[in-house]
């Protein structure tokens, strides 16, 4: 026990223990903050991957629509409720 008591009276040992305690628990860049930021980074990377896949899918659909006039017309009629001058449009809303 006296061996351990000898180290606790050493200035450098006390300073090192306090410094490590400060960096681990009290500092703004402590370990808990690093774990939170790392988990948020992983979540954001997953979102980035999702949106990149979605972007590629939308670009493929866009290319397909621009290359096929009939498909473009169908898309416009369904999505934006467009019609020809001689047609009547009825919208049925299901409850």
- Residue 88 is assigned to a structural domain of this protein: no
Domain holding 29, by residue range, is 2-80
* Residue 91 within any structural domain of the chain: no
In a domain, 18, yes or no: yes
State the residue for tokens 């020809």.
Answer: 84
**Is 13 among the domain residues?**
yes
Considering the entire predicted model, what is its pTM?
0.55
Specify the pLDDT at position 5: 74
Q: Write out residues in the chain with pLDDT < 70, as ranges.
A: 1
What pLDDT score was predicted for residue 37? 93
Residue 92 lies in a domain: no
3-state secondary structure labels for all residues of the chain: CHHHHHHHCCHHHHHHHHHHHHHHHHCCCCHHHHHHHHHHHHHHHHHHHHHHHHHHHHHHHHHHHHHCHHHHHHHHHHHHCCCCCCCCCCCCCCC
Tally of domains in the chain: 1
């Amino acid at each position: 026990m006296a061996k351990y008591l000898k180290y606790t009276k050493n200035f450098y040992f006390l300073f090192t223990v306090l410094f490590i305690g400060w960096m681990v628990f009290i500092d703004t860049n402590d370990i808990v903050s690093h774990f939170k930021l790392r988990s948020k980074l992983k979540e954001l990377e997953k979102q980035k991957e999702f949106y990149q896949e979605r972007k590629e899918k939308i670009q493929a659909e866009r290319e397909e629509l621009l290359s096929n006039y009939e498909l473009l017309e169908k898309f416009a009629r369904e999505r934006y409720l467009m019609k020809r001058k001689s047609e009547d449009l009825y919208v049925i809303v299901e409850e």
